[in-house]
Amino acid sequence: MKKRTILVLWAAFLALPLPAIAGDVTWQDCVKEAMSGNSSIISAREKLNQARSQNWSAPAAAFPQISASASGSKNGYEAGPNTVPYTGNTQTQNYSYGLTVRQLVFDGFQNTQDILQASETVKAAEFNYKAASAQVRYSLRSAYVGLMKAQDMIKVTAQILSLRKKQYEDVKLRYNGGTEDIGAVMSSEADFKQADFSAGQALRTLEVAKESLCSAIGRDINSDISVKEDFTITEDTTIEPDFKALLLTNLGYLAAVSQRRAAQFAFGSSVSSFLPQAYASGSVGRGAATLLPQDTTWSLGLNISFTIFDGGKSEAQCSQALAALNQAKADEKASSDNTTISLKNAWYGFKDAFMTVAVQQKYFDASAQRAKISDVQYSTGLTDFNNWTIIQNTLVSSQTAIVSAQAGLLTAEAAWIQAKGGTLEDEK
């Protein structure tokens, strides 16, 4: 009896609407935290920084290469006592300072191709970063929606538990009064136990949902968190998108285009290795036996080189670059096809989820109305237990289905936004 009383009180408490917690975080709060705390976005940002740093290697080769040098030495000679003729001990010293400049004049446009390749590589890295940001946004939104659903399911399962408890007690009263059989009592008890299990399961799901969101925003996963519930969508489902236009702005496709261009320039660079290279050089310096020498030396020169035979190394590099170019072209074509399919799948999934919510809402409204009517009919003996319990089960299923449908709609919207290239930065 004591255990039953505790269950009733617990169900009544959870059936009450959850008040807004002062610590509830909004979607914008999560976006702000994830920008600085999410591990994936930090990793993607650092990869982009690496690509930008590496980009300077190619342009740097086009600038003059200047080096300075300084040296000092002291040498000595000590003759042995048996040296004939005896020359004594001697010492010499030498100091020198110099400045050397080397400038690329012509390398068959190889450096130009390298600069263009580096530029496209950075563009691809920027698109990849944005794609990573879009993926993080989707994961973050899914975790946020997951916690909203878990919070809502706590209330729903508590309401169902309270309902099942009342139904079980009502059926027992009828059984004690001789108007119901033992099978109805056992069936009602099973429904009550199932509702009790679902309520406990909802609590466990809530715990995992909190950890998932904390991980997504970069908090310690053991932190307590709750979110402000808002099941409204921001995307319009009535306007059909232009998939061809969306393809041309898709982050993954743009990255594939940049990678193909970079491969083209890399191939051009490999071809340039067959052409002559020319460097201009100059140097100026001073050297003497004193610490501050006054004598000046200088030189100017032009060096032209042409590879006649390198054992087939240049041909192999050119062949490798051509294969990489062909691969990049194939990857670009595959990216175009896959992106178009992904865009359509995401859009149709979003529209289906929107219609599913509308349908589930109709089912819920209908089942709620039928449940009210069947309660009256069952209490007056106008319907039997079997028909009554079927209607009640439909109501319970509709209550959970509408919550799942609403959460599914938000997740589908997040997938559509990701397919279009929506990033965390866009949310700010």
In terms of residue numbers, what domain contains 123? 2-67+109-281+311-427
Q: Is residue 81 part of a domain?
A: no
Edge-to-edge strand ranges of the sheet holding 89-106 = 65-78, 89-106, 277-288, 296-305
3-state secondary structure of 66: strand
Per the domain annotation, does 98 fall within a domain? Answer: no
pLDDT given for residue 283 in this prediction: 87
Distance CA 137, CA 127 (A): 15
C-alpha span between 53 and 40 (Å, rounded): 20
At residue 93, does pLDDT exceed 90?
no
Secondary structure of residue 250 in the 3-state scheme: coil
Give pLDDT, residue 80: 67
DSSP string, 263-308: HHHHHHHHHHTTS-EEEEEEEEEEEESSSS---EEEEEEEEEE--S
Residue type, 383: T
Give pLDDT, residue 127.
92
Lowest model confidence (mean pLDDT) among 67-71, 169-173, 221-225, 310-314: 310-314
Q: What are phi and psi of 299, to 5 degrees?
A: -155, 150
CA of residue 27 relative to chain centroid, distance:
17
- pLDDT digits over 56-91, tens only? 777 777 788 889 988 888 887 776 666 656 566 677
Q: Is residue 82 part of a domain?
A: no
Helix, strand or coil, per DSSP, at residue 37: helix
CB 101 within 8 A of CB 66: yes
Q: Considering only 175-184, 322-331, 350-359, 374-383, which range has the smallest mean pLDDT?
A: 374-383
Q: Does residue 304 form part of some domain?
A: no
pLDDT band, residue 341 (cuts 50/70/90): very high
Whether 291 is covered by a domain: the verdict is no
With a cut of 60, say whether residue 414 has pLDDT above it.
Answer: yes
Q: What is the CATH number of the domain that holds 6?
A: 1.20.1600.10
Q: Does residue 339 carry a pLDDT above 90?
A: yes
- The count of domains in the chain is 1
> Higher confidence at residue 55 or residue 156?
156
Question: What's the mean per-residue pLDDT of the chain?
Answer: 86
pTM of the predicted protein model? 0.77
pLDDT at 3: 41
Residue 366 forms part of a structural domain: yes
Asked, for residue 339, whether it belongs to a domain, the answer is yes
Residues 6+ apart with CB under 8 A from 161: 7, 11, 14, 15, 192, 195, 196, 198, 199
Q: What pLDDT, on the 0 to 100 scale, is given for residue 81?
A: 67
